Amino acid sequence: MDFFLCVIGMVMILEGVPYFAFPDKMKRMIQKMVEMPNPSLRQFGFVLMLLGLLLVYWGKT
């Protein structure tokens, strides 16, 4: 459980850095995402999940 909480904390830190460092650019990027069609967002999310799974696999071997 400690490792899981540590990983979640690291994810939150990495997710927060762009909002802290570049708030105006993040607002523009979010606006562009709102305008994107749902299938494109789903594909992007799927690719990110696969890359994350691959990183976890490489980290465990």
Q: Tell me what pLDDT residue 38 has.
A: 96
Helix H or strand E encompassing 20: helix 2-21
Six token digits for residue 4: 């899981």
Report pLDDT digits (tens) over 13-60: 999 999 999 999 999 999 999 999 999 999 999 999 999 999 989 988
Per-residue pLDDT, 1: 82
Stated pTM of the model: 0.71
CB-based contacts of 26, cutoff 8 Å, min separation 6: 18, 19
Q: Which tokens in the block code for residue 24?
A: 């105006």
Give the whole-angstrom CA distance, residue 54 versus residue 48: 10
User: Where does the pLDDT of residue 10 fall: very low under 50, low under 70, confident under 90, or very high at 90 and above?
Assistant: very high
Under a CB-based contact definition with an 8 Å cutoff, are residues 46 and 53 in contact?
Answer: no
